[in-house]
Amino acid sequence: MVKNLYDVLGVSKTATATEIKSQYRKLARKYHPDLNKDDKNAAEKFKEISAAYDILGDKDKRQKYDNNEIDAEGKPTGFGAGGFGAGGFDTGDFGGGRQYNTYTNGGFNGAGFDFSSLFGEDIFSQFSGGRGFGARQQKGQDIAYSLDIDFLDAVRGAEKSILMNNKQLNVKIPAGTQSGQVLRLKGQGTKGVNSNLNGDALITINVRPHPYFKAEGRDILLDLPISIKEAVLGAKVTVPTISGKVNVTIPPYSSSQEKLRLKGKGIKTKNGTGDEIISLVVSVPKNKNAELESVLRNMKDENVRTF
């Protein structure tokens, strides 16, 4: 005996479309085969309520059903009711409406019906995860934090302690870290909802500028002021590096913007070690120097321009 579709869903004939949809969702959750793997009747019940909702959930089909133009299987009543295969639940287009998927051995095949539109987008992720139907699981929120560090800590690497989310955290600063770089501390954000998937802590690094060093990739750049005497006669001078002071030789007759390279005195990372590149800057004295002026007046004029 063909059942009344309203009885199948457990709603009255005067139920609104919203009430019908809500009741279908409730029953679909209750009888979904993935939630009733040990109940052989659940799959059949699920097919039955899905078939009922296919008609009652469609405005035009529901009207035809109420007017006895189609039966509970969606078949036209009276003469000309042919062309539809027997079998109640069909994997094709059911009465001209949406497609249903066939349930076999614990799963659905085909791709016709979008159950997520009825259940919400996260319910089937619970089915596939094998945890069964329950409270919605959510990953915790990420927490953003800004950390100011000195230039030398950034280029040499360091470890800093910060207070975040009422917790003391140690942040390892890799050598060569640049301003604006974001470090991620896995699982140090807020706690997950009904899960152990905590959010992360996102640490944005702000590198304070150095009085005389700059970084370019793995190289350290340094402008080195030298006197006119040192530029002309050459000299040995002490210069700073990020790992300490070293002595360098200024070649005689050096000019501004000429460069000296100190191999291996740059930033050391897992991908290699850079150099320190020194740019010479000839410094002219600001105070009057009569002896220097006399020497320069006695020098032969020389054209140093090429234009």
Domain end: 71, 103, 129, which one?
129
Residue 116 lies in a domain: yes
Structural domains counted in the chain? 3
**Does 203 share its domain with 221?**
no
Residue 299 lies in a domain: no
What CATH number is given to the structural domain containing 28? 1.10.287.110
Residue 251 lies in a domain: yes
Q: State the residue for tokens 């234009």.
A: 307
What CATH number is given to the structural domain containing 275? 2.60.260.20
Strand 219-227 relative to strand 213-216, pairing: antiparallel
Domain end: 129, 159, 194, which one?
129
Strand 276-283 relative to strand 244-250, pairing: unpaired
pLDDT of the chain, 307 residues: tens digit per residue = 567 999 988 999 899 999 998 888 888 878 877 677 778 788 788 888 888 888 998 998 999 989 888 888 888 876 444 444 333 334 334 334 444 444 443 444 433 444 444 444 444 444 444 444 455 778 889 999 999 999 999 999 999 999 987 889 999 999 999 999 999 999 998 888 877 889 999 999 999 999 999 999 999 999 999 999 999 999 999 999 999 999 999 999 999 999 999 999 999 999 999 999 999 999 998 899 899 899 889 988 888 888 8
Domain of 155, in residue numbers: 143-207
Distance CA 118, CA 13 (A): 21
**Does 120 share its domain with 203?**
no
Domain end: 89, 107, 129, which one?
129
Distances (CA, A) of 56 to 69, 137, 249: 13, 32, 92
